[in-house]
A and B are shown apart, each in its own frame.
Chain A
Amino acid sequence: MTATAKKKGLIACQECGRVWPADQIRCKTCGSKLRSRDPYSLQKVWAWWIAGVLAYIPANLYPMLHTRTLFQSSQDTIIAGAIEIAAHGSLGVAFIILFASVVIPLGKFFAIAYLALAVKRGAKWPPRRQYILYELIEYIGRWSMIDVFVVAILCSLVQLSVAASITPGIAALTFALSVIFTMLSAQSFDPRLIWDRIDAPVSKASA
């Protein structure tokens, strides 16, 4: 049985790290509100998660870019664009696009869902590994916006009016929303919940 701060009747300030007794409402050092656990954490996680997934669907169905050159205009979804680039031989670029735009967002969805479920129902993974996963999501999640940045930069750079122009498609917006929602979802997760189930039997839910 491992001791946690909650079990010891202590509460740590999220902002400055000062430890207070459990009945302390506010941190006397920095004035922040003290909470042992965020009671709505999982609800928020799931709400953002759902919104993120919803936004991610049109982001892949609708075209990301409208490319108009002198002789033709084309609009490509993320995956179609990556495939096209791969077909032209730029496998590396295609891989990066696929990784940043598909693998990472999908991985985040799965990771967040796993963490949330693991907090609720317990998981095979030890809490320590769950926490590393959480840190990874937190760290890598922001890089998903690379797609949006690329689109934004392309659109602002390639505006040659008649000769060629690139405009963002509806997918760029929804993709950005999806990334934002996913980040909010990850942020809403209270990692301390991971430790609450430290003594819980593996893969046995008791909620």
Chain B
Amino acid sequence: MHWVWLVPIAAIATAIWVALQAYNDQGPVIQIVFDDSAGILPNETELRFRNVPVGLVEEVRFNTDLSQVIVDVRLDNSVAPFVDETASFWIVRPEVTTSGVTGLETVLSGVYIEGTWDTTPSGLITTHTANDRAPLVTTYQNGTLIELRSTRAAGLSEGTPILFKGIEVGQLGATMISVNGQWVTAEAIIYEPHDRLVTTATRFWDTSGFSLSVGASGASLDFSSVASLISGGITFGTLISGGEPVREGLVYEVYPDEATARNSVFEGSDGARVRFTMIFNENVSGLTADADVEWRGVRIGKVANVSGIVDPERFGDARVRLMSTVEINTARFGLDTGLNRSEAIDFMAARVEEGLRARLATASILAGGLKIELITDPDAPAAALDLTGDPFPVFPVIAGDVTDVAVTAEGVFERVNALPIEEVIDSTIRFLDNATILVASQEIRDTPGEILGLLSDARGVIGSDEVQALPEDMRGVISDLQDASGDLRDLLSDLRDAQAVDRLLAAVDQIGNAAAQADTALLAIPDLTARISDFVDTASALPLEGLVGQATDFAREAQTLLASDQMRAVPGSVTQAFDELTAVLNALTEANTADLISTALIDTSDAATAVENAVAGVPQVVESLDRIATNVEDVRLDTLASEVEAVLNTARRLFGDASEADLPAALAGALKEAEAALAELRAGGLIASANATLSSASDAAQAIENAAADLPQLVTRLNATLTQAQTTLGGFQEGSAFSRETLGALREIERAAKALSDLARTIQRNPNSLLLGR
């Protein structure tokens, strides 16, 4: 044999080996049943597991009645034992959804069949039915399958992510309508290990779309992810403890939002529910049935019933109290859901021992609703759960934390509303307008300058040494005055001792006589009045206003004079004059003045008597007056007035021309002389003279005293006189012409008096005018 025979032998061996290998590698053929083949091609389409090709489609055919497509797939031997009853197959094709793009590679390569099965080989099953879509549970994404249901389809759509704190932890499978048509149900998977977050107490809610809430703290826009914004998202939360771990196939409801889900915790829980009665002393509106009962913000129950209660025996008065029955789910405290009612009540009683109390609280500031809050207040007065309460144990309460914002706010608004804002604004505007005009006037603009000048003048005066010395001098004067007032007091007490009143009475009596006589004289009065009226008419015609104006001018000049520097010397002189005066007063005090005054009063009384006598002659007087009036009427008052005016003009010229500088000096000199005179008086027989004077006064006073003694009688007589006068006047009433005339005359007199009063006031304001010796 030639060696070349090795070649065909090797070839045969290779062929045999390859054939054997191929035969060994060739896996079993399985049939997968599809509704449609969707691009599956024989010998091209692969079967993949975890994206690794593990088989190839060998044939695509129909079943006998053409209702389905059977795809024969040659499996790899390596995976064949795993393709058991857990296997599921689906076609992977390109898909673009809101949550992403999948199967993009199949756009170019064509579809493939994806298979998944568990990791335990339990024998090949050769016939399988394919799924329409990828199953939720695959070998590489394990989790717990649950079922979600909702009364509305929104939010439940296939592929919707299940988010937990923003992380995708699960997914929704195909949705379908429940048999009875009431629910939309969807299979959902929570991937490992997140499925342990789900318990029987978990609540699912829809987070699709976005939520816009506007509150006291501003507006907030919430949405979890763009995907959930478009296609919806579902999240969940385990709001209370005590749930059991999730089981495969558990059914959960999907709530529209978190609030509803939270609230549903109550309804959906199977914890023990116990009812309590709570009696609130506050009578606050807003607590209604179904209001929340909260514990640390967690809703643990609801108000079952609200009613009023009046029970004088129990509370000691007949006030109406707010009685509410609340239902508390103890499972919310994290208690075992298997607790029975009495255990739950025991638990609550223990909590009450620790200070758990109920109170009313505002649920919504704007809406004004109330809720009941359970709070632990260790300082609360000791109380216990009143288990004897009928029908439910009575839960102790404390004062509520209720703010009735609505009422307060309303009051504020009403007050604001009542403000006369428009009027105020109008007035303000008017005021401002006037103020603007005033301020803009030239006078006001000049004022500051004038004030400045005045101030500087005043500063000059005040700054002079004499003025500075004034306070000290004044102090001396005041102390002297005090002494003098003490003396005066003594004097008055002396007077009291004397019988001044009696004497006064006598004087009055005499006056009474005089009045009686005057009565007769009154008869002549109408005539007199008419004449006076004429006179007054004439007087009122006088150009008094001009006179007054001139007087004012004059006064103003005098004022200017006073502002001159020389006037500053005056206070010093005045001070000295005061000193002198003080000395005189002292001297007077030393003298026996009171006695003298007493005597003077007696003399006065005598004088009154004389007056009485004089009154007897009143008719004559009236006649004389009449005559005088007649004469006065003749007098050329016009001339007089113009003369007075001339005098005033002259006086003004005098002031204007005369060396104003000299005048204060002269004044000072005059004062000095007065001072000297006073000094002389003090030194000389002033006191004696004063005494003489006073004794004369005493005489006069004596006369007054006598007169005063007759005062009661005088009053009686006055009465009589008045009666008579009344009678007389009654007669005059008929002659209303007289009254009118009288009234007119009086009016004229009043006017004249007013003019004179103005003049007097001017002079009073500018007394220096008197210094002219006018």
Contacts and interface: CB of A to CB of B under 8 A. Distances in A.
Q: Do A and B bind each other?
A: yes
Interface residues of B, number: 15
Q: Which of A43, A51, A55, A188 has the most CB of B within 10 A?
A: A51
Contacts of B44: 72-73
Interface string A39-50: 010011001101
A189 interface: no
A51 B15 contact: no
A142 to B, nearest CB: 19
A43 B5 contact: yes
A139 interface: no
Main secondary structure of the interface of B (DSSP, over half): helix
B110 A71 contact: yes
Contacts of A54: 8, 11-12, 15
A181 interface: yes
A122 B10 CA distance: 31
Contact of B4 (A55, A70, A188): A188
B737 interface: no
A47 B108 contact: no
A58 B8 CA distance: 14
Interface in A25-59: 40, 43-44, 47-48, 50-51, 54-55, 57-58
Interface in B3-34: 4-5, 7-8, 10-12, 15, 18
A47 B8 contact: yes
A64 to B, nearest CB: 15
Contacts of A40: 2, 4
Given A54-B12, A72-B44, A48 B7 contact: yes
B1 interface: yes
Given A71-B108, A72-B110, A47 B15 contact: no
Nearest to B43: A75
Nearest to B110: A72
Contacts of A73: 44
A47 B12 contact: no
B108 A58 contact: no
A72 B10 CA distance: 37
Nearest to B15: A54
A50 B11 contact: yes
B2 A51 contact: no
B2 A44 contact: yes
A47 B110 contact: no
Contacts of A47: 2, 4-5, 7-8
B8 A70 contact: no
Nearest to A39: B2
Chain A residues touching B, range: 10 to 19
Given A71-B110, A73-B44, A51 B11 contact: yes
Contacts of B108: 70-71
Contacts of B7: 47-48, 51, 181
A72 B7 CA distance: 39
B470 to A, nearest CB: 119
A55 B18 CA distance: 12
Contacts of B15: 54, 57-58
Contacts of B4: 40, 43-44, 47-48, 188
A181 B44 CA distance: 33
Interface in A109-141: none
Interface string B96-128: 000000000000101000000000000000000
A197 B44 CA distance: 56
Interface string B555-573: 0000000000000000000
Nearest to B1: A43
Contacts of A55: 11
Nearest to A49: B8
Given A72-B44, A73-B44, A51 B110 contact: no
Contacts of A70: 108
Contacts of A57: 15
A58 to B, nearest CB: 7
Contacts of A51: 7-8, 10-11
B719 to A, nearest CB: 144
A70 B2 CA distance: 52
Contacts of A58: 15, 18
A31 B2 CA distance: 24
B17 to A, nearest CB: 12
Nearest to A68: B109
A151 B179 CA distance: 62
A72 B43 CA distance: 12
Interface string B31-73: 0000000000100100000000000000000000000000000
A71 B39 CA distance: 12
Contacts of B10: 51
A107 B15 CA distance: 23
A78 to B, nearest CB: 17
A41 to B, nearest CB: 9
Nearest to B14: A54
A43 B8 contact: no
A27 B660 CA distance: 178
Nearest to A71: B108
A72 B41 CA distance: 10
A48 B9 CA distance: 10
A43 B2 contact: yes
A70 B10 CA distance: 40
A56 B15 CA distance: 11
The 9 A-B pairs of least Cβ separation, nearest first, read A50-B8, A51-B8, A40-B2, A54-B11, A47-B4, A51-B11, A43-B2, A44-B4, A51-B7
Given A47-B5, A181-B11, 5 more contacts: A43-B5, A50-B11, A50-B12, A72-B110, A73-B44
5 contacts: A43-B5, A47-B4, A48-B8, A50-B11, A54-B11
Interface of B: 1-2, 4-5, 7-8, 10-12, 15, 18, 41, 44, 108, 110
